[in-house]
Structure 1
């Protein structure tokens, strides 16, 4: 109820952001929640797990779910990532299908296209309007009309162009509902999760392409009562050569990575941080179901049997 005692109608629901890797899903979610929650790098497939961001304003609560890219998997980690993304499509009230208008039409599998066609509240989003040429924008529009019978919303996650109009359209499609989370929440995921993500982001920024993709990060200790806040985390890689690259001569590389990650974490938590990083070798973890589950990935049932 409002101050006058009248009943206030609110809307709330889950909004999935799906699409090809590097379509701008993470950048758009950060823009929509007006806070950096999803890590962003120029390299594709940075997002491995679902990231939740909550935006509550004007009687509407949008629970955004950033997802890994929809690609054909090459190994078990990719299958877990694809499973996470497709699972969200069926569970959400609104699905934002992001297309990088500057990169052409995505080639989704038949299964993914069928899932998208059945999705509730599908909104096609033609992103990167700041980079796309008019001909590319028209190509995206023709594809979304032909494939899904909808005109795309045109936005730029980088500049903010079209984002307010997109937010209004999402709000119209969400069901009447009480808020799902407290109004001041920005995510339902623990700080430990974001700590690990910021360490990965720093690795993507500092090292060559192969090494960041081989990394998994596990927060082993998190002392909130310590000043500065004490965090001990282990970075796992698959080969000794990758460990040597991460460590660097005399530990120079891991120190540089630690400084970059610590600054990101301090900005996120708003407090000084002591970040204690360790590097260990865990061979073939990206193809090992038990290790993936240890890192929090959900393995599709059929993969557990093979």
Structure 2
């Protein structure tokens, strides 16, 4: 009998969750950035082998939310924990001792699903530091999502904990999400790479038009910012910055689609969208329900 189920990857921001998803699936699905909080929504990747199918959910980093967008991100991560058949709790090994998942996620009770503690960035650890972590966490697995070291053992451990089940998706599928979503994420990733300070955190992307019947494929994406001053920064002097973002993002999108692309980028202001419930719903975020008094 085959095994199949949801593997939820959780951890603090910048633990390497998105890099791990990409490594597991063998495709670049989740954007990666040294800037924290780059993952805002759940990203689904599918790894299928002869005996098992892992539906891997990459999640926003576990944090203490300060505004509405971060509340929605935390809610998404907690919902993914509830959906999990197995939890891969990813820890940045270079940051010292491993805190329990229940404490990091501020859960009232331990998760329902079995938890595999995965110590990432093992390639950065000195032998003595690795030994100390191994002694303190004897059941943990050491991996490097960047180099791939330790990944076969991790997959085997995750598969062993999945329920017996037929495959949930076609064996050729690598994700459940639409191309528009990945185009938006690639444009946002490029903005994260090229912009500094608070500006990249204030950007949301939305595909307004996607014409696959054209050659090149025509895609219009709007980058929303929160203030007029941010719009000027994103556009740059005489449009230089937005042109550079467009050139780099177009190459990424062409690699995704395997076709030539005309990427038409626009920049608009949506005041204070990260703190506005209506704006967040427009971008597909779900805010947690406030407890009744």
Aligned residue number for residue 96 of structure 1? 88
> Does the CA-based 8 Å contact 1:126-1:137 persist in structure 2?
no
Total equivalences in the alignment: 292
SS at match of 2:116: strand
The alpha-carbon distance between structure 1 residues 260 and 37, as it changes in their structure 2 partners (threshold 3 A), is same
How far the C-alpha of 1:151 sits from its partner, in A, is 1.6
RMSD between superposed Cα atoms in Å: 1.9
TM-score of the superposed pair, with normalisation by structure 1: 0.91
Is 1:23 paired with 2:15? yes
How far the C-alpha of 1:84 sits from its partner, in A, is 0.2
| Partner residue of 1:285 out of 259, 264, 273 | 273
The alpha-carbon distance between structure 1 residues 109 and 175, as it changes in their structure 2 partners (threshold 3 A), is closer
Provide the C-alpha distance between the structure 1 equivalents of 2:169 and 2:90, rounded to a whole number of angstroms.
26
The alpha-carbon distance between structure 1 residues 84 and 140, as it changes in their structure 2 partners (threshold 3 A), is farther
Q: Deviations over 1:178-234 (max 9, x none)?
A: 111111111010000000000010001111131110000011111111111110111
| Partner residue of 1:213 out of 193, 201, 206 | 201
> Does the CA-based 8 Å contact 1:228-1:271 persist in structure 2?
yes
TM-score of the superposed pair, with normalisation by structure 2: 0.95
SS at match of 2:105: helix
Is 1:37 paired with 2:29? yes
Q: Deviations over 1:270-302 (max 9, x none)?
A: 111111110001111000011001000011111
- State how 1:120-131 maps to structure 2 within 5 Å: 120-131=113-124
Is 1:191 paired with 2:188? no
The alpha-carbon distance between structure 1 residues 288 and 113, as it changes in their structure 2 partners (threshold 3 A), is closer
| Partner residue of 1:117 out of 92, 110, 116 | 110
| Partner residue of 1:254 out of 235, 239, 242 | 242
SS at match of 1:246: helix
Provide the C-alpha distance between the structure 2 equivalents of 1:218 and 1:194, rounded to a whole number of angstroms.
11
Provide the C-alpha distance between the structure 1 equivalents of 2:274 and 2:180, rounded to a whole number of angstroms.
21
How far the C-alpha of 1:58 sits from its partner, in A, is 1.5
> Does the CA-based 8 Å contact 1:89-1:115 persist in structure 2?
no
How far the C-alpha of 1:119 sits from its partner, in A, is 3.7
